[in-house]
Homo-oligomer: A and B are copies of this chain.
Amino acid sequence: MTLNDMLFGRPLRSSDEAGEKLGPVGGLSVFGLDALSSAAYGPEAGLTLLIPLAAAGIAYMLPITASIVILLTIVYISYRQTIEAYPGGGGSYTVARENLGESAGLLAAAALMIDYVLTAAVGISAGVGALVSAAPSLEPHTLAICLVILLLITLVNLRGARETGAVFIIPTYLFVGTLLGTLALGLFKTLASGGHPLPVVAPPPLHPQTAAVSIWLLLKAFSSGCTAMTGVEAVSNGVKAFREPVVKSAQRALTAIIALLIALLAGIAFLVRAYHIGATDPGTAGYQGVLSQLVAAVAGQGAFYYITVGSILLVLALSANTAFADFPRLCRAVAEDGFLPQGFATRGRRLVYSQGIWVLTVLCAFLLILFGGVTDRLIPLFAVGAFLAFTLSQGGMVAHWRRTGGKRARHSMLVNGLGAVATATTVVVVTVSKFVAGAWVTALLIPAIMIVMISIRRHYREVAAEIANTAPLDLTGLRNPLVVVPILFWNKIAQKGLRFALNLSAEVLALHIECEKDRGDMRQSWSRNVEEPARRAGLASPRLVVLSSPYRFVISPILDYVLELERNHPDRQIAVLIPELVERHWYHSFLHNQRAEWLRALLLAKCSQRTILVNVPWHLSA
């Protein structure tokens, strides 16, 4: 068992594909973590904006949550339809590209890519942030913990979809179970007490009201609360990862995720009001998370409290996994259309799109390192991308139904149209209300990424046109090349090179670069060791060319000579033989100059199509 096998698992055959598929249960933990974990920060984000309204703000949380739940339901129905219409994986990219055209597809892809990278970084750092505020002694190690979690998520994902599902099932169900338990207990207590339950641990008192209610404030609270909806598109993007019957499995997973999310959001909004729990100012001394207050109020600060809060932290940190499940699949789809490097469409040893996983890891690590593991400032950047993708996906489905027609098309079009309008409105609200705080970065990045993707496709098309060959093999005009053999001293390496050169062609030029101290030595050696035996064998001797190098450069005179040879023989191929020492141990490479590599790189970069490089290796036994 090699190290590779231990870290990443045995390679899987292409035909092992079926065994790696997910059922609804595994799908929930692979694709649902992000959506479900957002129940842990969406309500809090909304309530934080309502702090100035005090008790009135908490009361407004119910209608705001209701709007979010309605929006979520619309998006859910719409994505159910998308899954059915695109069983091969219907992310926003595919749907938008097929129905609204290439630009719309690329817009959705760019928006989603940014969103996934941000989700992964913010998820990990939020989880670690919560952990660190619970155990302040870990604070100096924030970044290191973030990076370790990132690496673990990367490794699990590289091992394949099925193992990822298995690893994440326990935290997911622990999170859902404890949180639903809390909500059920709170609901029961509220009903039993006629709507006025007594908290076990009283939440901190609310601040006095400092602002009047305004539409703008409510809109901002709504758009912040909407972060609860990120991650919902994950299932539709990854349909292909599900087990047969594909569509049913994916739909079931989506239904379960949305139902749980709605239950959590509604329950939280209801209990927050019943227990008079408001957000506290993050960054001030008395800060306590909304869910933490809620669990303490409902169930007290016993073992259950710690398990619940612990599982929230864990799921937040692991919510990055949804990005790891979807980002590579998105990149694969975009790469198959030629807008991203082909490597993104290649499945690695465990049948996952390894390159996408690595790229996400690197980008995410870059963000984490740049911000020292505290990525709060990135939060305003990422709802824009998600809702833009929602909108394009819904709009695409409208066009899809119009095109396909049929009985249910009218009804489906209405549902998706409603979704499109709702999410488009949200995009505008979110962009405007968060523009200064950072959404402008997203607004700049999206077109930049689109331009890069379009240039990539143009390059691939040009290359394909350039190397395309419809004609059969042309066998006319075959002619042996001119062969250039750089020779340092007369030794076995030189002899091996010359012998191969003589196999290749009768026109062999041996090139010797002469520095001061060995003036003339080579000519003597050449006449004795090469010209004479060639004359005796009745063969044309290779010709010796001696170039002197006053600046002690060795590589550039060879390069210049080959370039001149190309100019003087415009109709010939030129083969440059590069004798190369191959060391038996890597550390021996420090003991020998790497001129062969440099020469090779320079010749490749500077010479024309007509120059071919031949490496004649000498494997040292020493």
Contacts and interface: CB of A to CB of B under 8 A. Distances in A.
Interface of A: 11-15, 341-343, 346-347, 349, 456, 459-460, 462-463, 466-469, 471-475, 478-481, 490-496, 498-500, 502-504, 515-516, 528-530, 532-534, 537, 539, 550-553, 573, 575, 580-582, 588, 590-593, 600, 604-605, 607-609, 611-622
A551 B475 contact: no
24 contacts: A12-B551, A13-B550, A14-B515, A14-B551, A15-B516, A15-B550, A341-B590, A459-B591, A462-B622, A466-B492, A472-B528, A472-B530, A472-B533, A473-B498, A473-B530, A478-B502, A478-B503, A481-B500, A503-B504, A609-B617, A609-B619, A613-B617, A614-B614, A614-B615
Contact of A466 (B15, B342, B502, B621): B621
A481 B503 CA distance: 8
User: Which 9 interchain pairs have the tightest Cβ spacing?
Assistant: A462-B622, A613-B615, A472-B529, A467-B491, A13-B550, A475-B537, A469-B492, A11-B551, A472-B533
Given A466-B620, A492-B466, A341 B473 contact: no
Contacts of A462: 622
B502 A14 contact: no
Given A14-B515, A475-B502, A347 B552 contact: yes
Contact of A573 (B500, B550, B573, B608): B500
Nearest to A16: B550
A581 B498 CA distance: 27
Contacts of A622: 459, 462-463, 466
Contacts of A467: 491-493, 618
A456 B591 CA distance: 8
Contacts of A498: 473
A588 B459 contact: yes
B456 A469 contact: no
Contact of A475 (B534, B550, B575): B534
Contact of A472 (B347, B532, B607): B532
B491 A534 contact: no
A242 to B, nearest CB: 21
Nearest to A341: B591
Contacts of A478: 499, 502-503
Give this chain's copy count. 2
Contacts of A479: 503
Contacts of A502: 475, 478
B615 A600 contact: yes
Contacts of A481: 500, 503
Contacts of A490: 469
Contacts of A582: 604-605
B615 A475 contact: no
A530 B550 CA distance: 50
A247 to B, nearest CB: 23
Nearest to A517: B14
Contact of A612 (B469, B537, B614): B614
A493 B479 CA distance: 18
Contact of A474 (B347, B533, B581, B613): B533
Contacts of A537: 475
Contacts of A592: 341-342
Nearest to A532: B472
Contacts of A466: 492, 620-622
A553 B350 CA distance: 12
A553 to B, nearest CB: 8
A494 B550 CA distance: 42
Nearest to A497: B612
Nearest to A616: B612
Contacts of A616: 612
Contacts of A12: 551
A478 B504 CA distance: 10
Contacts of A588: 459
Contacts of A590: 341
A460 B591 contact: yes
A498 B500 CA distance: 19
A473 B550 contact: no
B613 A604 contact: no
A158 B156 CA distance: 49
A471 B622 CA distance: 21
Contacts of A608: 619
A402 to B, nearest CB: 33
Nearest to A537: B475
A500 B575 CA distance: 10
A425 to B, nearest CB: 38
A491 B469 CA distance: 5
A2 to B, nearest CB: 13
A398 to B, nearest CB: 34
Contacts of A493: 467
Contact of A343 (B349, B550, B580, B593): B593
Q: From A13, A346, A499, name the one whose CB has the most chain B CB atoms within 10 angstroms.
A: A499
Contacts of A539: 475
A592 B463 CA distance: 10
A342 B495 contact: no
Contact of A14 (B15, B469, B550, B613): B550
Given A503-B478, A582-B605, A614 B617 contact: no
Contacts of A473: 495, 498-499, 529-530, 533-534
A415 B456 CA distance: 77
Nearest to A586: B605
